[in-house]
Amino acid sequence: MRGMTIIVKTIAALLIGFILLFGLYIILTGHLSPGGGFSGGVICAAGLLLVVLAFGADVVRERMGHNLAIVWESLGAIGFLAVAALGFIAGAFFGRFIPAHRGFELFTASSIPYLNVAVGLKVAAGLFGAFLMLAAFRESEKTREGDGEGD
């Protein structure tokens, strides 16, 4: 997949930092204001989508292949299960093992910020990896079209 003009590439390179920062903000303050893991994860995935569209799938696949995306997504899922299993300290799966309700701070609700981060990581990496493979598939599909016709 080809990239776009130099203007779009420059703007995408400048914006990706802000988009990821905004997505991280939405993930982290999920228990204080509207947002949470799913919203922030999808926003991060949309920022990475901008980079894939602007620079082309080849360039992005050299820097950050879909294997890395699979690893990050699995880390998110394992992190979610680990935080939920740590609830056995409090007596139950998903138990509240960190004291809660200290006002409007970042680490207040019992295990909600950590679960938010795990879910956000999972959703962002998963959607980015799926779209990267979709964009890169067009390449190898075009080169395979010669021997695909001979079936």
Judged by the rule CB under 8 A, the positions of this chain that interact with other proteins are 26, 30-39, 41-43, 45-46, 49, 53, 66, 70, 73, 77, 80-81, 84, 94, 96, 100-104, 108-112, 115-116, 119, 122-123, 126-127, 129-131, 133-135, 137-138, 140-141, 144, 148, 151
Angstrom distance (rounded) from CA 148 to CA 151: 6
Angstrom distance (rounded) from CA 74 to CA 5: 34
Q: Which two tokens stand for residue 135?
A: 């964009």
Of residues 3 and 126, the one with the C-beta less far from other proteins: 126
Angstrom distance (rounded) from CA 52 to CA 27: 22
Smallest gap from Cβ 6 to other proteins, in A, equals 21
Smallest gap from Cβ 64 to other proteins, in A, equals 15
Of residues 5 and 140, the one with the C-beta less far from other proteins: 140
Of residues 15 and 130, the one with the C-beta less far from other proteins: 130
Q: Which two tokens stand for residue 47?
A: 């920022």
Contacts of 35 (CB under 8 A, 6+ apart): 26, 27, 29
